[in-house]
Chain A
Amino acid sequence: MFQDLFELEDIELMTTTTEIKFSDSAQQQVQEILHQYPADKSKSALLPLLHLAQAEFDGWLSAPVMDYVASILNIQPIEVYEVASFYSMFNLKPTGKYLIEVCQTSSCWMNGSEDIVRYLERTIQAETGQISPDGMFQIKTVECLGSCGTAPMFQIGDKYYENLTFEKIDTILDDLRKENKRSRYV
């Protein structure tokens, strides 16, 4: 988590002048989310809104995007930064189109997660943390995802890929290359 904090210092500023605004369908989702809390407790919507913003704006949270979320909830930008930097699912830098989150804790390690990472690195031609040369993939090692009985596994967007083998990984990556659509949780 500390690493994430330090990364906050290098939050990348968007160079584009495009206006940051949720799509119509996302705006509707924002209203539904806000409806879940008492009117004076709307800050509770922060995590759901950050997930939505990450999905809407290319899979990561730039400072202007976080400022936009702050403006919706009528809170200070720092209240958004400190939360975004605390939770591991929020990316403060651009990522590959498909973020491959490989579990490495205990049961997954016992079942070969280190080999999964090595195989992935070789296949996508990028080390863990780096975006692959074609911009399609990025490996991120993560802590226990609650898939211990179906180890080894990784998560891409909201999908769990379990009981992995190298052959399975080949098929998964091939399918994603064809799909060519940014992974998202929401």
Chain B
Amino acid sequence: MSKKLLLTYDHIPGINTLEVYRQNNGYKSLEKALKTMKPDDIVEEVKKSGLRGRGGAGFPTGMKWSFLAKPEGVPRHLVCNADESEPGTFKDRYLMERIPHLLIEGMIVSSFALGANTSYIYVRGEYFYIIKILQNAIKEAYAAGLLGKNILGSGYDLDLYVQPGGGAYICGEETALLESLEGKRGNPRLKPPFPAVAGLWGRPTVVNNVETIAAVVPIVNFGGDEYAKIGIGKSTGTKLISASGHINKPGVYEIELGVPVEEFIYSDEYCGGIRNGKKLKAVVAGGSSVPILPTELILTTAKGEPRLMSYESLSDGGFATGTMLGSGGFIAMDEDTSIVKNLFTFARFYHHESCGQCSPCREGTGWMEKILKKFIDGKATMSDIDLLWDVQSKIEGKTICPLGEAAAWPVAAAIRHFRHEFEEYVKNPQSIHDVKHYFRLNNLVEA
């Protein structure tokens, strides 16, 4: 069993077609599942695999599946969360674009395991070209008898549809996604009831990320125990990492969980080091919501151990000195990057994306953006740093959904680790203009 489980065949020409996909072990897990396994056997294998939700929260998938209510006569649904919108994250897009059938195979196997006969893939609306790729692949699967009635002669029926979003980050939150799929505004629901009990149209529903569902394919193929041998500790299996920022080789990498962060950044197998021979300044390791860490803390933990790309190692030290694996949106910043300006782009993002239901988030995200704008404009005072801290601290834990935390954490971490930069903006308002932000376009700025 190789280290790569999802992106094994992604570079084979034509792998987006059913024919080439099947020539490369495609739909083997479906045959195995339908012909040799019962739905509960699959749930058991997923539990054994230790697979954790790959969308960001990292909740054990097998456990989530086992919560699904099964009242007599009520249809159940599987909904794939392909509303990938966390800044820094583009792995699901890559997977769906390159190997759409891997997601579809995972959807059929998972739907069978959960007893769902109608499933949906909710794709962010901006990815319309991906939606077309998925729809073509689904059409191929129907024509080959892999979807529809009596799949592969097993007596199992499944219809699979793709639903476009409308451009709203909040719909990546599973209850907001369900609201959106019901044709409403993407306002997150109060929990409980959880979707496992009352989800889509009030029916028991499981919502899983694209990568999570794709991972079910190797788990069924090789068995949960074999999958669990890959990775490190409770971080089993592989993870797709979206690498961007000031690195030599941005892109999507499938890593075995447990790779040292230093190796991930500097090895030619992955990011290939920092662009233009610059030094690394900071990393946002798991998408915009997770705390930013300065170089010394991202490469080693506070205890001085090498930091690894795993759920446990990245969060070692809590938020004081650690961060989170999150969605695997890995943004590396070089020595010339303004932490304050980057934070401003995050704050603007969360303000734009707040659904407006809860006052702490609706008002707080706006205040954070405004205060950060003052720094950028050179109009901030020292007390604004404390004000910013105060505002973020009043959002966390006071909202229906985690967007509040997602907006507050990056602000808190930036002040925690880079307070001196905020102070510099106050002391020397011109500093923003002195920093070279641009690289690729540097020579064209004056044009």
Interface residues of A (CB under 8 A from B): 1-2, 36, 38, 41, 43-48, 50-51, 73, 79, 82-83, 86-90, 101, 104-107, 109-112, 114-116, 119, 142-152, 155, 157-160, 165-166, 185-186
Contact = CB atoms under 8 A, between A and B. Distances in A.
Contact of A110 (B166, B246, B349): B246
State which size class the interface on B falls in.
35 or more
A47 B168 CA distance: 12
A45 B166 contact: no
B164 to A, nearest CB: 6
Contacts of B92: 146
B201 A41 contact: yes
Contacts of A116: 441
Contacts of A89: 125-126, 166-167
B440 A48 contact: no
A143 B349 contact: yes
B84 A47 contact: no
B126 A145 contact: yes
B441 A86 contact: no
B89 interface: yes
B445 interface: yes
Given A36-B161, A111-B439, A146 B124 contact: yes
B129 A159 contact: yes
20 contacts: A1-B352, A47-B165, A47-B180, A51-B164, A87-B166, A90-B166, A106-B87, A110-B331, A111-B441, A112-B441, A114-B437, A116-B441, A143-B87, A143-B353, A145-B126, A146-B126, A148-B244, A148-B245, A151-B250, A185-B164
Interface string B246-287: 100011100000000000000000000000000000001000
Given A83-B166, A86-B166, A86-B168, A144 B445 contact: no
B186 A86 contact: yes
Nearest to A143: B349
A159 B288 CA distance: 25
B90 A88 contact: no
Smallest CB-CB A-B distances: 9 pairs: A87-B166, A46-B183, A89-B167, A148-B244, A88-B167, A149-B250, A112-B441, A43-B183, A158-B128
B166 A106 contact: no
B169 A160 contact: no
Contacts of B180: 47
Given A43-B182, A86-B186, A146-B126, A105 B349 contact: yes
Interface string B411-447: 0000000000000000000000000011111001101
B126 A186 contact: no
Interface stretch (B66-74, B339-347, B400-408): B339-347
A43 B182 CA distance: 6
Given A143-B349, A148-B250, A115 B185 contact: no
A41 B90 CA distance: 32
Interface in B323-350: 329, 331, 333, 337, 341-342, 345-346, 348-349
A21 to B, nearest CB: 21
A86 B252 CA distance: 31
B164 A115 contact: no
B185 A107 contact: no
A149 B349 contact: no
A104 B345 contact: yes
A170 to B, nearest CB: 12
Contacts of A44: 163, 181-183
B314 interface: no
